[in-house]
Amino acid sequence: MTSSSPSGPLPPSSPAGEAALDEFRALNDPDRRRAIERRGEHFVVEGLLALRALVESRYPIRSVLVAENKAAAALELVGRRAPIYAMPAPDVAAITGFAFHRGVLASADRLPPEPIEAVVTAQARRLLVIEGVNDHENLGALFRNAAAFGVDGVVLDPTTADPLYRRSVRVSVGHVLRMPWARAGAERWPAVLAELREAEGFCVVALTPAPDAEPIDELAAAPPDRLALVVGAEGPGLGLRALAAAGRQVRIPMAPGVDSLNVATTAAIALHRLHAY
At 228, is the pLDDT very low, low, confident or very high (cuts 50, 70, 90)? very high
Q: What is the pLDDT of residues 166-194, one digit of tens each?
A: 999 999 999 999 999 999 999 999 999 99
Cα–Cα distance list, 38 to 34, 148, 179, 204 (Å): 6, 30, 22, 34
223 CB-contact burial (10 Å; exposed 0-12 / middle 13-18 / buried 19+): middle
Q: Pseudo-torsion of CA 55, 56, 60, 61, nearest 10°? A: -10
Amino acid identity of residue 3, one-letter, is S
- Give the global pTM: 0.91
Mean pLDDT across 33-53: 89
pLDDT tens for 251-275 read 999 998 887 889 999 999 999 999 8
Instruction: Band the pLDDT of 17: cuts 50, 70, 90.
Output: low
Per residue in 50-72, pLDDT (tens digit) is 999 999 999 999 999 999 999 99
Domains and CATH numbers, the chain: 2-109 (3.30.1330.30), 116-273 (3.40.1280.10)
61-67 and 104-109 beta bridge pairing: antiparallel
Closest C-alpha among 190, 75, 72 to residue 61:
75
Q: What are the residue ranges of helices labelled H in 123-255?
A: 136-148, 166-171, 175-178, 191-198, 216-220, 240-245
If one counts every other C-beta atom within 10 angstroms of the C-beta of residue 252, the result is 18
